[in-house]
Structure 1
Amino acid sequence: MGHREDIDWLRAIAVLAVVGFHFEAPAIFGGFVGVDIFFVISGYLITGIISAEIVSGQFSFARFYERRARRLLPALYVMVACAAIPASHELLSSERAEFFESATAVVTFTSNVFFWLRSGYFDHAAVEKPLLHTWSLAVEEQFYLVLPVVVWGGRLLAQRRRLVLPGVLALFAAGSFALGLLLLRNGAFASAFFLSPPRAWEFLLGSLLAVSRLPAPPPGVVQRAARGLSLILMAIPILALRPGPSSPGLNALAPCLGAALFLWSGTGVANVPRHRMSPLKWAAFVGRISYSLYLWHWPLFAFARFAKPGLALDGWERAGLFVLTVAVATLSWRYVEQPFRTRQLAATPRAAFSLAALASLLLLAGSGVGLLGSGAVSKADRAAQRFDAYNSYDMKPLYRYGACFTTPDGRVAEDCLRPVSGKTNILLWGDSFAAHYFHGLRAHLDPKTVHIMQASQPTCMPTFSAETQGVGVCRAFAVQMGEYFAQARPDLVVMSADWLENARPPRFAGMVRDLRRTIGRLREAGIPVVLFGPSVQFRARLPSMLARATLRGVTPESAAFVRSDIFALDAAMQAALPPREGLSYVSILSAICEDRRCPLTASNVPLSFDHAHLTAEGSEHVMAAVAPRLLPDTTDFSSREQARERSDQAGDSGTRDD
Structure 2
Amino acid sequence: MSQLQSEAPRAAVGGAPLAEKTAHRPEVQGLRALAVLMVVTYHIWFGRVSGGVDIFLLISAFLLTLSFVRKVEGGRSLALVRYWLHQFKRLLPPVAVVLIGTLTATAVFVPQSRWPEILSQSWASLLYFQNWLLAAQSVDYYAADHSTSSPLQHFWSLSIQGQVFILWPLLLAASALLARMLRVRFRRVVLAVFGAVFVASLSFSIAETYGNQAHAYFDTRTRLWEFALGSLLALALPYLKPPRWMRVGMGWLGLATMLSVGFLLDVQGQFPGYVALVPLVAASLVIVAGQTGSRIGADRFLSWKPLMRLGDMSYALYLWHWPVLVIYLIWRDRQEVGPVGGAAIIMLSLVLAYLTTKLVERPLRSSAWVNRNSVRAAVVIGLCIAVVAAPVAGWQYGLKVQAERLTASADKNNPGAASLVPGYTGAEDNPKLYLPRPSRLDDEAVRPAPGCSAENAPDSELLASGCGELRAEGTPSKSIVIVGDSHSLQWFEPLQAMASENNWQIVTIFKGACSFGDPGIGRWPECDEWNQLALDYILLHQPDAVLTVGTAASPGTGSEVVVPGMAEAAAKLIENGTQVIVMRDNPRFPESLIECVESRGPDAIECNPSRDAHMNAEPPVELISELAPQVRYMDLTDFICTDAECPAVVGNVYVYLDTNHLTKTYLQTLQFEFERQWFQATGW
TM-score by length of 2: 0.63
Residues 585-609 of structure 1, C-alpha deviations (whole Å, 9 max, x = no match): 9999899656974222343222133
Give 1:85 shift. Answer: 2.6
User: Who is 1:422 aligned against?
Assistant: none
Q: Percent identity?
A: 17
Matches within 5 A, 1:602-617: 602-615=650-663
> Residues 593 and 74 of structure 1: is their aligned pair in 2 closer, same or farther, counting only changes over 3 Å?
same
Partners of 2:307 and 2:621 in 1: CA distance:
45
2:279 maps to which of 244, 248, 259: 259
* Corresponding letter in the other structure for 1:79: V
Residues 326-346 of structure 1, C-alpha deviations (whole Å, 9 max, x = no match): 1232123333325777x5775
Q: Which moved more, 1:601-610 or 1:480-489?
A: 480-489
1:535 maps to which of 579, 582, 586: 586
Partners of 1:198 and 1:186 in 2: CA distance:
12
User: Who is 1:2 aligned against?
Assistant: 25
Matches within 5 A, 1:229-628: 238=266, 241=269, 251-266=271-286, 267-268=288-289, 270=292, 290-304=314-328, 307=331, 312-316=333-337, 322-337=342-357, 347-348=366-367, 350-352=369-371, 360-367=381-388, 369-370=390-391, 371-372=393-394, 375-376=397-398, 383=432, 386-388=436-438, 391-393=441-443, 402=451, 409-410=462-463, 430-437=484-491, 456-465=510-519, 468-470=522-524, 472=526, 475-481=529-535, 495-496=549-550, 519=567, 535-538=586-589, 546=597, 548-549=598-599, 554-555=601-602, 557=604, 559-560=606-607, 581-582=626-627, 597-615=645-663, 618-619=666-667
Contact 1:462 1:478 in 2 (8 A): no
SS at match of 1:464: coil
Q: Which moved more, 1:255-264 or 1:98-107?
A: 98-107
> Residues 215 and 69 of structure 1: is their aligned pair in 2 closer, same or farther, counting only changes over 3 Å?
same
Partners of 1:117 and 1:493 in 2: CA distance:
25
Give 1:146 shift. Answer: 4.0
Which structure 2 residue ranges, 5 or more long, are not aligned? Answer: 1-23, 407-431, 471-478
Matches within 5 A, 1:215-234: 215=240, 218=246
2:155 maps to which of 100, 117, 134: 134
Q: 1:40 and 2:58 equivalent?
A: yes
1:168 maps to which of 193, 196, 202: 193
Which structure 1 residue ranges, 5 or more long, are not aligned? Answer: 243-250, 417-424, 638-658
Contact 1:40 1:259 in 2 (8 A): no
* Corresponding letter in the other structure for 2:486: S
> Residues 500 and 120 of structure 1: is their aligned pair in 2 closer, same or farther, counting only changes over 3 Å?
same
Contact 1:464 1:518 in 2 (8 A): yes
Contact 2:596 2:606 in 1 (8 A): no
Residues 85-143 of structure 1, C-alpha deviations (whole Å, 9 max, x = no match): 33455678897688677656655556567878999824453368644433432332332
Give 1:204 shift. Answer: 1.8
> Residues 295 and 231 of structure 1: is their aligned pair in 2 closer, same or farther, counting only changes over 3 Å?
closer
SS at match of 2:196: helix
Contact 1:430 1:462 in 2 (8 A): yes
Contact 1:543 1:608 in 2 (8 A): yes
Partners of 1:113 and 1:525 in 2: CA distance:
37
> Residues 112 and 6 of structure 1: is their aligned pair in 2 closer, same or farther, counting only changes over 3 Å?
closer
Partners of 1:300 and 1:359 in 2: CA distance:
26
Matches within 5 A, 1:8-87: 8-16=33-41, 19=43, 28=48, 31=49, 35-51=53-69, 68=87, 72-87=91-106
> Residues 10 and 119 of structure 1: is their aligned pair in 2 closer, same or farther, counting only changes over 3 Å?
closer
Partners of 1:577 and 1:236 in 2: CA distance:
44
Contact 1:439 1:620 in 2 (8 A): yes
Contact 1:40 1:256 in 2 (8 A): no
Contact 2:96 2:385 in 1 (8 A): no
Q: Which moved more, 1:344-353 or 1:455-464?
A: 344-353
* Corresponding letter in the other structure for 1:163: R
Contact 1:431 1:460 in 2 (8 A): yes
Residues 487-537 of structure 1, C-alpha deviations (whole Å, 9 max, x = no match): 989999964366669x9xxxx9xx98x966664686799999998776333
* Corresponding letter in the other structure for 2:348: V
Contact 2:71 2:77 in 1 (8 A): yes
SS at match of 2:284: helix
> Residues 280 and 132 of structure 1: is their aligned pair in 2 closer, same or farther, counting only changes over 3 Å?
same
> Residues 325 and 358 of structure 1: is their aligned pair in 2 closer, same or farther, counting only changes over 3 Å?
farther
Partners of 2:89 and 2:569 in 1: CA distance:
64
Contact 1:13 1:34 in 2 (8 A): yes
Partners of 1:529 and 1:117 in 2: CA distance:
30
Contact 1:429 1:455 in 2 (8 A): yes
Partners of 2:395 and 2:241 in 1: CA distance:
58
User: Who is 2:427 aligned against?
Assistant: none
SS at match of 1:459: coil
SS at match of 1:292: helix
* Corresponding letter in the other structure for 1:85: T
Partners of 2:544 and 2:387 in 1: CA distance:
60
SS at match of 1:315: coil
Partners of 1:596 and 1:49 in 2: CA distance:
68
SS at match of 2:154: helix
* Corresponding letter in the other structure for 1:458: G
* Corresponding letter in the other structure for 1:268: A
> Residues 560 and 349 of structure 1: is their aligned pair in 2 closer, same or farther, counting only changes over 3 Å?
farther
* Corresponding letter in the other structure for 1:600: A
User: Who is 1:200 aligned against?
Assistant: 224
Give 1:170 shift. Answer: 1.9
Contact 2:191 2:232 in 1 (8 A): yes
> Residues 230 and 588 of structure 1: is their aligned pair in 2 closer, same or farther, counting only changes over 3 Å?
farther
Contact 1:109 1:141 in 2 (8 A): yes
TM-score by length of 1: 0.65
Give 1:252 shift. Answer: 1.0
Give 1:433 shift. Answer: 1.3
